[in-house]
Amino acid sequence: MNILANDGIHASGVQQLIKGGHQVDETTVAQAQLASYLNDQNIEVLLVRSNTQVDKALIDACQSIKIVGRGGIGMDNIDVAYAKSKGIHIINTPDASAVAVAELVFAHLLGGVRFLYDANRSMPLEGDTHFNDLKKSYATGTELRGKTLGVFGFGNIGQETAKIAIGLGMKVIFYDPEISQVSISLSFFDGSSQAFQLKGTTKETVLKTSDYISIHVPSQSQYCIDRSSFELMKKGVGIINTARGNALDEVALIDFLNNGTVAFAGLDVFESEPKPEIQILMHPNISMSPHIGAATLEAQEKIGLSLANQIISISES
């Protein structure tokens, strides 16, 4: 099959596909020229990430497409229902990036409780002149052990986040309207493992009792965390969003950061991405990263191999 990896694919995935007898084109084609390119090159498989839109118009314009693959979990840039109605296979990689995203949650969370998001800004500017003042200002950090992490959305990434939290000695509660109870297993360096049974609770309970909140919901039309949600939270809560920019009301977030309800936030995604609002970028109590949740070498390799194996399986069926 002729495959276009328009947003890139790991070399391991390319090698796997070539080994399976497929041709892989790694050209990055602009959205406006994509339909023409797909038709000219007789592309049968289109692989995308978040940059490429696979909408009804593109699907109708490209009759050769048999498979559309999304490197990652969310498929809000693909008209999945319409593609399936046209007999197109839709594949994604829901497991491949879960560990990477979960670890980024704790990069932001650990940095948040020890003020690293601010210290890393202040030290280059004042570390040589106000070292003792900075030391004093950052001397009220807190520990995660014994605290409660509330997780919104308890799919693969939410569960991987819970595993890290449990490993750190945290209590985990979660809200997911589609999941009521989960058994998660922690694997350790010596080959042993330990299972934990977690039961879901209400959204209100998570908001009221969590010391920290991590968001792992798919793209949706309404905020997962809106202004009324902030009003229920404990004073001094920390919030991490590595899911979708539209999961969190950023205007409300700024207000509740300013009034002290939210102590800090960690954002990997933004409402106005790829141009985050200046109030977000300049806020002293927000730790930020540019949508890099799945951007580890290990995750990219797993994504590439997962896509390749699914394509080979479909082509051989």
Q: Which of 244, 250, 271, 283 is catalytic?
A: 244
* pLDDT attached to residue 219: 86
Assess contact for 227 and 207: CB atoms under 8 A.
no
- Asked about 26 being catalytic, the answer comes back as no
- Asked about 244 being catalytic, the answer comes back as yes
**Same fold flag, 2-95+297-316 and 98-288:** yes
DSSP 8-state symbol, 103: H
Q: What is the Cα–Cα distance from 33 to 38, expressed in whole angstroms?
A: 9
Q: Which amino acid is at 193?
A: S
Angle CA(159)–CA(296)–CA(19) in degrees, nearest 5? 105
Q: Which of 89, 114, 130, 291 is catalytic?
A: 291
Q: How far is CA 256 from CA 137, 159, 237, 260, 272, in A?
A: 21, 27, 10, 6, 19
Q: Which residue has the tokens 């890290």?
A: 164
* pLDDT attached to residue 316: 92
Q: Which stretches of the chain score pLDDT less than 50?
A: none
Q: What is the Cα–Cα distance from 295 to 39, expressed in whole angstroms?
A: 31
* pLDDT attached to residue 73: 85
Q: Find out whether the peptide bond into 124 is cis, omega within 30 degrees of 0.
A: no
- Asked about 178 being catalytic, the answer comes back as no
In a 13 Å sphere around the CA of 77, the CA atoms on its Cβ side amount to 19
Domain ranges of the chain: 2-95+297-316, 98-288
Does domain 2-95+297-316 correspond to CATH entry 3.90.1150.50?
Answer: no
Q: What is the CA radius of gyration of the chain?
A: 22
Task: Summarize pLDDT for 141-181 with one digit per residue, the tens.
Answer: 999 999 999 999 999 999 999 999 999 999 999 999 999 99
* pLDDT attached to residue 260: 96
Q: Which tokens in the block code for residue 128?
A: 């040589």
Q: What is the Cα–Cα distance from 112 to 224, expressed in whole angstroms?
A: 21
Per DSSP (E only), the strands in 106-192 are: 148-152, 171-175, 181-187
Please state which CATH class domain 98-288 belongs to: alpha beta
* pLDDT attached to residue 212: 98
Q: Which of 26, 103, 273, 301 is catalytic?
A: 273
User: Model-level pTM?
Assistant: 0.90
Q: Which residue has the tokens 């995203």?
A: 101
